[in-house]
Chain A
Amino acid sequence: MSLRLGAFNIPHLSSHTIRAAGVYVSGILYSSAFYYMLDSALWSAHKNPSNVHVGFVDWLPLILCSLGMAIINLVEKSRLNGNNAFGNEYGGNNDTWQAKVVLFLGFAFLSGGVADSVVILVLKYIIPKYGLPVLAMGIQNVISSCLVMTSCLILWVAQNMQDDYSYSLQL
């Protein structure tokens, strides 16, 4: 990972660079998830030999995943550490609890989106026993929601890495 970052013309690798690279990678993954889904929708509209088409229901997993990703990233990360230096001084406990509830909601949306895509794959494509070119629409759906989940994961890791580093820097 560190070798690839040399192209950004920054001589030493601070955690800031790695964080920026993580955010870029997560954006690329999210975008490819969207265009993978768009690809399946366009295929369904233009080249589809069967009667099954990509409709609003097939877009629902991506929408749910994106919603979950938005919720997760709107939670302020510093509120999650209940045992922070400042956390307990002004009622940090209650704030932490609320942040955790919202975070749980976000992860529920995210994994719900992935589960939704699997449900659509099974109910819409596998149980009616469609062959591969049609089945691929369902598989693309699952892959794109998994890509959104990976993107969210990388974004989370990249943003938390910076926090750790600046914390240890202050010590």
Chain B
Amino acid sequence: MLTQVQKIFLLSSVLSLGFVLIILSSALYHNWLPLTVVLMFLLAPIPNSLCGNTQSEDFMSEAPDLLADFGRFLTSFLLTSGVALPVTFAHNGLIKIPAMIMSLAGGAIVYGSIVTFGAIFYEPEGY
């Protein structure tokens, strides 16, 4: 197994690979529209972490967890935005197809590394 520091190093290098892909997709074609993808994928984990993922705690309680639902809705909205935005741009000729593919791959890598980071290092309170 990897140690904690190695994990952090690996994840951060993967994250920077994602950023490199997205910045290349913009810079190679002198068209900075694909950068919006970074914004979407960076914002995507925020609603879920703010609204709390109270899967096990709220299981027996009466009131449905509406705030968590709102967070999930926003998360999936932002994630789909990250995918749909470059596809829409490419469909209408605002960016080139290779730029779309690069920014999509970069965005997926960025989001994946953020989620992996959360899954590895998040320790829930109160247990």
CB pair A27–B64 under 8 Å, yes or no, is no
CB pair B59–A31 under 8 Å, yes or no, is no
Q: Is A28 engaged at the interface, CB distance under 8 Å to the other chain?
A: yes
Distance between A148 CB and nearest chain B CB, rounded to angstroms = 12
**B62 cross-chain contacts in A, Cβ below 8 A:** 166, 170
CB pair A32–B93 under 8 Å, yes or no, is no
> A143–B72 Cα gap in the complex (Å)?
24
Whether A31 touches B80, Cβ cut-off 8 Å, given contacts A162-B64, A166-B62, is yes
Whether A46 touches B92, Cβ cut-off 8 Å, given contacts A10-B55, A169-B60, is yes
CB pair A46–B77 under 8 Å, yes or no, is no
Q: Is B97 engaged at the interface, CB distance under 8 Å to the other chain?
A: no
Residue from A31, A35, A42, A155 whose CB has the most chain B CB atoms within 10 Å: A31
B82 (CB) vs chain A CBs: closest residue: A31
Q: Which of the segments A16-24, A55-63, A109-117, A118-126 contacts the partner chain?
A: A16-24
Q: Which of the segments B21-29, B83-91, B98-106 contacts the partner chain?
A: B83-91
**B61 cross-chain contacts in A, Cβ below 8 A:** 166
Q: Is A159 engaged at the interface, CB distance under 8 Å to the other chain?
A: yes
Q: Is B81 engaged at the interface, CB distance under 8 Å to the other chain?
A: yes
**B72 cross-chain contacts in A, Cβ below 8 A:** 20, 23-24, 27
How big is the A interface, by class? 20 to 34
CB pair A43–B92 under 8 Å, yes or no, is yes
**A47 cross-chain contacts in B, Cβ below 8 A:** 92-93
Q: Is B8 engaged at the interface, CB distance under 8 Å to the other chain?
A: no
CB pair A27–B88 under 8 Å, yes or no, is no
Q: Is B11 engaged at the interface, CB distance under 8 Å to the other chain?
A: no
For A30, give its contact among B75, B77, B91, B94 (CB under 8 Å): B77
> A155–B74 Cα gap in the complex (Å)?
13
CB pair B73–A42 under 8 Å, yes or no, is no
CB pair A46–B93 under 8 Å, yes or no, is yes
Distance between A56 CB and nearest chain B CB, rounded to angstroms = 20
> A26–B80 Cα gap in the complex (Å)?
11
CB pair B88–A38 under 8 Å, yes or no, is yes
**A31 cross-chain contacts in B, Cβ below 8 A:** 76-81, 84
For A35, give its contact among B59, B60, B85 (CB under 8 Å): B85
Distance between B66 CB and nearest chain A CB, rounded to angstroms = 8
Residues of B within 8 A of A (CB): 55, 58-62, 64, 68-69, 72-81, 84-85, 87-89, 91-94
